[in-house]
Structure 1
Amino acid sequence: MIKVLHVSDIHLGSGLSHGRTNPETGLNTRLEDFIKSLRTCIDHALSEPVDLVLFGGDAFPDATPPPYIQQAFASEFRRLGEANIPTVLLVGNHDQHSQGRGGASLSIYRTLAVPGFIVGDQITTHRITTRSGEVQVITLPWLTNSALLTRPETDGLSSGEVNNLLLQKLQPILEAEIRRLDPNTPTILLAHLMADRAKLGAERFLAVGKGFTIPVSFLIRPEFDYVALGHVHCHQNLNPNGTPPVVYPGSIERVDFSEEKEDKGYVLIDLEKGNTQWEFCSLPVRPFLTINVDVSDKEDPQGAIESAIAQKQIPEAVVRLKYKLRSEQIDQINNRALQKALSFAHSYSINPELVSQLARPRVPELGEQVTLDPITALKTYINNRDDLQEISEEMLDAANKILNEESDQEIESLKSKEQLNLL
């Protein structure tokens, strides 16, 4: 049995707007959070110890991170090299230049020939000798249109047609790798991609580049004992009722509020031919907290907001306060008091939203299940519009006049029809 640690989407250097400068280190506190989570993953790999580490791509937010962020990444992964633990670093979309060629942020490890480190920037099979036996790892980095297709091949095609053409190009390439596998050696497909059944997280909003969607059925092959995925930040197994497991470990930290309710962590695998077991290991990441409150109908909007804050306090969380109010309530809000109430937070943002006077809720008496005569319905509407009270009588008189005229016209029409029938 071969022990493998699968981690992905580290994004070291992301989400700095949610942090502050640590006066002791000079680093952004959110960067320190990401480093701490990465260190926890590496600590587990060393303490287990595991036989192999797989990184599923997206080391940084882009292909050219600042040197101090590259150094933080290298410092943690270097410990694996020192412990003689083979490591595969797959190239994700954020590791590539905008043209989609080369893994600029990770290729340095190949250039320096770091012992035991493999950079997966092309579709190929790596045969790795670990302390517990041999393992085969097929690397499938993030692929853009230009990686498999020429411009003339894509001219005039819709995105769906390009996606199908890309799959037609990819299938024989991957099939060729599978045919060269040793059937008696455990095999892992390590891929950075968007699978069609995946539940999305923050990658929906990040600059993901031009890629394509791959059907899960494309990945479920009897030759694979485990499919290690990267790119999607929400942990999930896309083949829960069968083999092989098709697993996104998710990102190791929350990038933004779209991941507020997601668990973060990595995956520990017991790899065995035909009998692979795995478990998700949660990381104690910093909580994100959204406080939503509507005070547009409150007599004391300030008190209502402070009460909502008091009920949701989570020490050292990244907090987003969102409240709705009417324009005439603005002077009743004390921002300094709100900032004081949010002092428990690691960082916070305050986002007020004005409620339009024209955007009133539907009057309950006029629901879909209620039938009212036109005059009663109009009275109900007027009673819920303060700005129409002064002209309410004129509106009702006009409505009665219109309805009476329509009634007279209907009577005359009926009389005419009766006379025609008599003839």
Structure 2
Amino acid sequence: MGSGFTHGRINPETGLNSRLEDFMSTLARCIDRAIGKEANEEPVDLVIFGGDAFPDATPPPYVQQAFARQFRRLVDAQIPTVLLVGNHDQHSQGQGGASLCIYRTLGVPGFVVGDTLTTHHLPTRNGPVQVITLPWLTRSSLMTRKETHGLSLAEVNQLLTERLRVVLEAEVRRLNPDVPTILLAHLMADNATLGAERFLAVGKGFTLPMSLLTRPCFDYVALGHVHRHQNLNKTNDPPVIYPGSIERVDFSEEKEDKGYVIVELQRGKVEWEFCPLLVRKFSTIEVDTSKAKDPQAAIIKAIAKQEIEDAVVRLIYKIRSEQLDLIDTSALHEALSSAHTYTIHPELVSQLARPRVPELSASSSIDPMDALKTYLNNREDLQDIADLMMDAAQRLLADDEEELEEEEEEIEQKETVSASTENTQLRLL
């Protein structure tokens, strides 16, 4: 919550960015399902949150309040909740999840903050459950600089994985084999498909192998960090699930479904379902008008083909410099006015970027007039004056031949004079 503000606008009635209101509304629908707000729905026994509540560890108070207001409803409904600390929840200047640890500090009933690798034994309405919390880990949290000195990146990652495997194994050995077990982890799995988070933690974390997660002691593995919903273990023994983010953060998530996961959990048996949420649409309209006779009409037509009402839209059109005067920007704004927000990105097509005409390759020998004719045949925008250019070029070449003969005569005369005074000249560089 608190990200993607550039894709929103200020609501004059609330003073809040509309994208924050989108996140608030979507989170409210998730909590509605958790507490069983609809008459035909049973409340859940446990809510687990996979981390990254906010873009950073110190969100503005009004954003924190919006998050807390929804999770407070779980307290009122007496539904235990586990909040895992992700990489964005961790404070850059110290240990711990600054944005989430306030819930533990205040002693919020039924709330568990997972900022360490440990096992939580939680009672629920329908029996106990074990949740191993594995927060976002960095190299410095498992190893010292001295231990990694002289090692390659691959060797460091291997050493880190082995060290984590040992620590995790210690937790596994303390599990009650008769109680359902969930591994709740914020990490980058080695076979995950990435989205907007691909640049968010470069150099700060490390990738973990699936073998660390697909243990028979785990009935369900709930993962945070990756924004795209996916099941990494198609055999479902156990399911290894990224539910993904509940809202689109930017255009890299334009085609992703957003939602939450409902799990039916028993020891040795689990069923899960991804429940899509209706979220605001992101739409990209791309048009290449560089070859169009009427670029304005081509753009308007492309916009009309898209359902843009209340969507976040970006219009990208390619155009040549000589076509710029043919674009009526006010008409484009009018055509996009039904969108929630929109941006317009013209991309100038440079003639220098055009592929080299094969007939004009450096290895070929070609008459200048033939070269010009070939060039003009590949320039649709110059067809109206092509004949005039050919005539002008012919006259220039004729003049050049006459001037060349005169220059050659002058050079011969100068060389004759130079030869007679060669012994009296100083050669300077």
TM-score, normalised with respect to structure 1: 0.84
Write out aligned runs for 1:334-413 (5 A). Answer: 334-361=328-355, 382=375, 384-386=377-379, 390=390
Q: Distance in 2 between matches of 1:325 and 1:205?
A: 31
How far the C-alpha of 1:336 sits from its partner, in A, is 1.2
How far the C-alpha of 1:216 sits from its partner, in A, is 1.1
Alpha-carbon spacing, 1:95–1:165, altered in 2? closer, same or farther (3 Å): same
Aligned mate of 1:24, from 13, 26, 44: 13
**2:188 aligns to what?**
194
**1:275 aligns to what?**
269
Q: Distance in 1 between matches of 2:241 and 2:47?
A: 15
Aligned mate of 1:96, from 72, 90, 103: 90
**1:46 aligns to what?**
35
Relative contact order, higher structure (CA 8 A, sep 6+): 1
1:177 aligns with 2:171: yes
In structure 2, give the amino acid aligned to 1:249: P
Single out whichever of 292-301 and 306-315 deviates more from structure 2.
Answer: 306-315
Question: Counterpart of 2:31 in 1: which secondary structure?
Answer: helix
Percent identical: 68
**1:154 aligns to what?**
148
Q: Distance in 1 between matches of 2:95 and 2:315?
A: 41
Write out aligned runs for 1:125-144 (5 A). Answer: 125-144=119-138
Q: Distance in 1 between matches of 2:242 and 2:148?
A: 30
For structure 1, which runs of at least 5 residues remain unmatched after alignment? 1-11, 367-372, 395-423
**1:110 aligns to what?**
104
Q: Distance in 2 between matches of 1:236 and 1:339?
A: 37
How far the C-alpha of 1:156 sits from its partner, in A, is 3.0
How far the C-alpha of 1:375 sits from its partner, in A, is 7.4
Single out whichever of 95-104 and 70-79 deviates more from structure 2.
Answer: 95-104
1:241 aligns with 2:235: yes
Q: Distance in 2 between matches of 1:180 and 1:205?
A: 36
**1:402 aligns to what?**
none
In structure 2, give the amino acid aligned to 1:17: T
**1:419 aligns to what?**
none
**2:414 aligns to what?**
none
Instruction: Please say which structure displays the higher CA radius of gyration.
Output: 2
Q: Distance in 2 between matches of 1:289 and 1:132?
A: 43
Contact 1:226 1:244 in 2 (8 A): yes
Question: Counterpart of 1:243 in 2: which secondary structure?
Answer: coil
Runs (4+) of structure 1 exceeding 6 A deviation are: 373-380, 391-394
**2:226 aligns to what?**
232
1:124 aligns with 2:113: no
Q: Distance in 2 between matches of 1:352 and 1:24?
A: 33
**1:400 aligns to what?**
none
In structure 2, give the amino acid aligned to 1:185: V
Q: Distance in 1 between matches of 2:30 and 2:111?
A: 17
How far the C-alpha of 1:159 sits from its partner, in A, is 2.2
1:264 aligns with 2:258: yes
1:33-84 CA distances to partner (integer Å, 9 max, x unpaired)?
A: 0001100100000003000000000000000000000000000001101111
How far the C-alpha of 1:146 sits from its partner, in A, is 1.1
How far the C-alpha of 1:100 sits from its partner, in A, is 6.1
Query: May I ask how many residue pairs the two structures share in their alignment?
Result: 376
Write out aligned runs for 1:203-222 (5 A). Answer: 203-206=197-200, 210-222=204-216
Write out aligned runs for 1:283-294 (5 A). Answer: 283-294=277-288
Contact 1:100 1:147 in 2 (8 A): no
In structure 1, give the amino acid aligned to 2:130: Q
Write out aligned runs for 1:294-313 (5 A). Answer: 294-313=288-307
Q: Distance in 2 between matches of 1:59 and 1:35?
A: 12
Contact 1:142 1:193 in 2 (8 A): yes
Question: Counterpart of 2:333 in 1: which secondary structure?
Answer: helix
In structure 2, give the amino acid aligned to 1:334: D
Q: Distance in 2 between matches of 1:324 and 1:383?
A: 22
Q: Distance in 1 between matches of 2:32 and 2:339?
A: 28
1:238-296 CA distances to partner (integer Å, 9 max, x unpaired)?
A: 00124000000000000000000000001000001111000000010000000000101
Q: Distance in 2 between matches of 1:31 and 1:234?
A: 20
Write out aligned runs for 1:321-340 (5 A). Answer: 321-340=315-334
Alpha-carbon spacing, 1:362–1:182, altered in 2? closer, same or farther (3 Å): farther
Contact 1:92 1:141 in 2 (8 A): yes
1:56 aligns with 2:45: no
Alpha-carbon spacing, 1:245–1:362, altered in 2? closer, same or farther (3 Å): farther
Single out whichever of 318-327 and 351-360 deviates more from structure 2.
Answer: 351-360
In structure 1, give the amino acid aligned to 2:6: S
How far the C-alpha of 1:157 sits from its partner, in A, is 2.6
Contact 1:124 1:139 in 2 (8 A): yes
How far the C-alpha of 1:383 sits from its partner, in A, is 5.9
**2:427 aligns to what?**
none
**2:312 aligns to what?**
318
Question: Counterpart of 2:353 in 1: which secondary structure?
Answer: coil
The CA RMSD over aligned residues, in Å, is 2.3
How far the C-alpha of 1:155 sits from its partner, in A, is 2.4
Question: Counterpart of 2:260 in 1: which secondary structure?
Answer: strand
Q: Distance in 1 between matches of 2:215 and 2:133?
A: 15
